[in-house]
């Protein structure tokens, strides 16, 4: 019978970030083939590695880790900044690189309503509020959950704050990236209690991932 402390539970984000995450874990010596072969399941137990993986919505991962349902999680820095959970950030996994940026309609010069208030549409109300507060801008935050680019096109907002990868979606909708607020990548985070109780297992995994990342960086330089 295995003790509870012999196992690690890791929450992984479903969606586009999952394949490169599994590639990295595989490069770190972890057999992820059961997850790669059947992504309809949400919980996977790897008996040999004493690992359990949970596949979850990205925005839910910090909550799973915060409450100890998962010992570790892989989640974007944008979500960590937005939610500000009490978690330990252990490692930048260099995955899913993109930018959190402010954008507006091309050619736009007035960014206020009534000369004072800027309407900002975003999935990240807390980040946007903090950002513009530091700049001394008076803003009205409009929270949306998808297709943020529609907001300025329909005159719902003056500015949007959203993730940008190539900028193609902005250009196709006659929007311009005006300001980069932060550079975003996926991070490995830990529940503080799990980090203390399972420190040896956690740090072994971190070292495995670090070696895989170093090898990947070395391979990239040699291309």
Instruction: At 89, list the tokens.
Output: 């950030």
The three-state (H, E, C) secondary structure of the chain, written as one string: CCCHHHCEEEEEECCCCHHHHHHHHHHCCCCCHHHHHCCCCCEEEECCCCEEEEEECHHHHHHHHHCCCCCEEEEEHHHHHHHCCCCEEEEECCCCCEEEEEEEECCCCCCCECCCEEEEEECCHHHHHHHHHHCCCCEEEEECCCCCCHHHHCCCCCEEEEEECCCHHHHHCCEEEEEEEEEECEEEEECHHHHHHCHHHHHHHHHHHHHHHHHHHHHHHHC
Residue 223 near residue 130, CB atoms below 8 Å: no
Taking only the tens place, the pLDDT of each residue in 154-201 is 999 999 999 999 999 999 999 999 999 999 999 999 999 999 999 999
Please say whether the structural domain 4-96+185-222 has been given the CATH code 3.40.50.2300: no
Taking only the tens place, the pLDDT of each residue in 81-125 is 999 999 999 999 999 999 999 999 999 887 777 678 899 999 999
- Domains 4-96+185-222 and 98-183 are alike in CATH topology: yes
How far apart CA 89 and CA 203 sit, in angstroms, is: 12
How many beta carbons lie within 10 A of that of residue 37, not counting itself? 8
How far apart CA 203 and CA 63 sit, in angstroms, is: 22
How far apart CA 113 and CA 157 sit, in angstroms, is: 9
Q: Which of 164, 163, 129 minimizes the C-alpha distance to 143?
A: 129
Instruction: At 4, list the tokens.
Output: 């509870």
pTM here is: 0.90
Based on C-alpha coordinates, what's the Rg of the chain? Answer: 20
Taking only the tens place, the pLDDT of each residue in 123-140 is 999 999 999 999 999 999
Homologous superfamily in CATH for domain 98-183? Periplasmic binding protein-like II (3.40.190.10)
Angle subtended at Cα 158 by Cα 156 and Cα 164, rounded to the nearest 5 degrees? 100
Q: How does residue 39 score in pLDDT terms, banded at 50, 70 and 90?
A: low
- Supply the pLDDT for residue 41: 87
The domain spans of the chain are 4-96+185-222, 98-183
Alpha carbon of residue 161 to chain centroid: 15
How far apart CA 147 and CA 170 sit, in angstroms, is: 11
């Amino acid at each position: 019978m295995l003790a509870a402390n012999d196992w690690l539970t890791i929450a992984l984000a479903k969606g586009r970030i999952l394949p490169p995450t599994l590639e990295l874990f595989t490069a770190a010596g972890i057999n992820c083939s059961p997850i790669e072969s059947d992504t309809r399941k949400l919980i996977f137990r790897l008996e040999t590695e004493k690992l359990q993986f949970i596949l979850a919505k990205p925005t839910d991962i910090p909550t799973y880790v915060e409450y100890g349902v998962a010992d570790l999680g892989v989640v974007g820095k944008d979500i960590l900044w937005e939610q500000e959970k009490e978690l330990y950030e252990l490692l930048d996994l260099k995955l899913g690189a993109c930018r959190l940026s402010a954008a507006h309609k091309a050619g736009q010069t007035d960014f206020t309503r009534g000369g004072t208030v800027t309407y900002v549409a975003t999935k990240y109300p807390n980040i946007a509020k903090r950002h513009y507060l530091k700049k001394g801008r008076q803003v009205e935050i409009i929270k949306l959950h998808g297709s943020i680019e529609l907001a300025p096109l329909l005159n719902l907002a003056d500015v949007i704050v959203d993730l940008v990868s190539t900028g193609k979606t902005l250009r196709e909708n006659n929007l311009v990236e005006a300001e980069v607020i932060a550079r975003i990548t996926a991070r490995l985070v830990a529940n503080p209690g799990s980090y203390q109780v399972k420190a040896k297992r956690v740090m072994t995994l971190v070292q495995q991932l670090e070696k895989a990342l170093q090898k990947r960086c070395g391979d990239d330089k040699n291309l």
